[in-house]
Structure 1
């Protein structure tokens, strides 16, 4: 199951493109038809990602940053489990961006994101990200409008700096429907093992669904760049979501083509006794 280039282009948001989320089907299968076969192939791709990451770690010259952004219950945790759980833990780091601490609020809004960026040789995953500061901060009014307006270009410049210093960036917006979110929230209420995942505050955000959609559309329009494009991923079907993201990650790492470093000695020069 190779995610073909035309499929990747379909998911990628072009720089300056105006996306209307209500016109994008969150149940789109992206060309994947059989759920069982697709999940099996995604597992194989996850193993290939692990092998590519091993080369990236050994090379130690570049990094990959994966940004996962989406409405509550869109599947950020599930994506990490489905795509990256096979990847060796030494070369991968996950950062969950929650409500800023007092110390983080005392710095510029990008400070905590920059501190969490992956070091060379590793894959870094942002579960939510610096984009919270043009999403939640915008919808909830946590920052002045003029400050929010400045942040789009500041984010673009920040990401360009990372790119110019050897970090490849993949940004995935997990597009979930309001109906699917309701079902997943209800499941968290019905299943005692998932009670810990339920946050009453999610219901307050749900009341602002349209405002959040507007904020996401502006984010996609203003911050999908040539150097760090957004990918709009249909997320109602978990298996499609994982397959699409795994395909893009695999293709990106293959394009990076990391190499194991050459050593200055010959294996025959040594004898293990």
Structure 2
């Protein structure tokens, strides 16, 4: 996979999702993809130790995608070699009563990673400009002043939300959080096949909900709103990557490798230096311990 240019999947200009691939061909077997991912995992694990010792940056990984795009299994496979104490996964479902008593970003803000640690958002603050656009009636649950009915939600409402999200990400980046956002770009046909497998394989039946088929009917709307959200919020310091998701083995490698590549750009992340007086006496400490 030496010829795979991962920078091609970074969103730097306006995109159209229909022109972005959901599957690409690479000269690698499934075993080779897994071996490549394994090398990435091990390097990320070493880097995690350094980041923990450095204690200056937190890392926020945001994963979005249509149902069945593989977010759960990607998290399991990409982060499996890292210290679990340093990686916290948050799966944001429908806001609960406590969360609805705050603004829509509150529950995401309190889930941000500590310095030296990783947070993975499985579905993210972007649900607030995706699901709520397909189902604007959900906004009414937020009890926002001036919005009593769906008809009160004007186009500039969404423009303000994009601005608020950009400001939120700008703020956390400037205060030491590295933000990387991934859209797992799945084809409608591949989703159909995966939903069928959920129904046909008994052990996966629990994953299926009739609501999945209802949401599938809104496929085109979701694609439109994903495209707009990505185009309006992909920034240099909080970039989006649109990665083909029809091949699960390949997308796991790609996401892992992109994360590693981006983190390695932070050349200031190093193990802290020992204080001079400790350095000068290392041999003395070794001798002391050796004599016990």
Q: Normalising to structure 1: TM-score of the pair?
A: 0.93
**Alignment check: 8 A CA contact 1:13 1:232 kept:** yes
Q: Within the alignment, does 1:21 sit opposite 2:17 as a pair?
A: yes
Shift of 1:3: 7.8
2:144 maps to what in 1? none
CA separation in 1, counterparts of 2:284 and 2:3? 44
Q: Within the alignment, does 1:135 sit opposite 2:133 as a pair?
A: no
With 256-265 and 63-72 compared, the bigger mean Cα shift is at: 256-265
Q: Within the alignment, does 1:51 sit opposite 2:46 as a pair?
A: yes
Give the 5 Å matches for 1:81-100. 81-100=76-95
2:64 maps to what in 1? 69
Q: Within the alignment, does 1:263 sit opposite 2:259 as a pair?
A: no
CA separation in 1, counterparts of 2:273 and 2:210? 54
For residues 188-212 of structure 1, give each alpha carbon's deviation from its aligned partner in whole angstroms, at most 9, with x where no partner exists. Answer: 1112211222222111110100000
Change (3 A) 1:35 1:112: same
1:186 maps to what in 2? 196
Structure 2 residue runs without a partner (length 5+): 140-152
Q: Normalising to structure 2: TM-score of the pair?
A: 0.87
For residues 110-141 of structure 1, give each alpha carbon's deviation from its aligned partner in whole angstroms, at most 9, with x where no partner exists. Answer: 10111101010011111000000000011111
Aligned residues: 268
Cα RMSD, aligned residues only: 1.6
CA separation in 2, counterparts of 1:236 and 1:32? 16
1:198 maps to what in 2? 208
Change (3 A) 1:172 1:37: same
Shift of 1:94: 0.7
For residues 161-183 of structure 1, give each alpha carbon's deviation from its aligned partner in whole angstroms, at most 9, with x where no partner exists. Answer: 11100111110000001111111
**Alignment check: 8 A CA contact 1:93 1:125 kept:** yes
Shift of 1:147: 2.9
With 121-130 and 147-156 compared, the bigger mean Cα shift is at: 147-156
**Alignment check: 8 A CA contact 1:2 1:247 kept:** no
2:257 maps to what in 1? 247
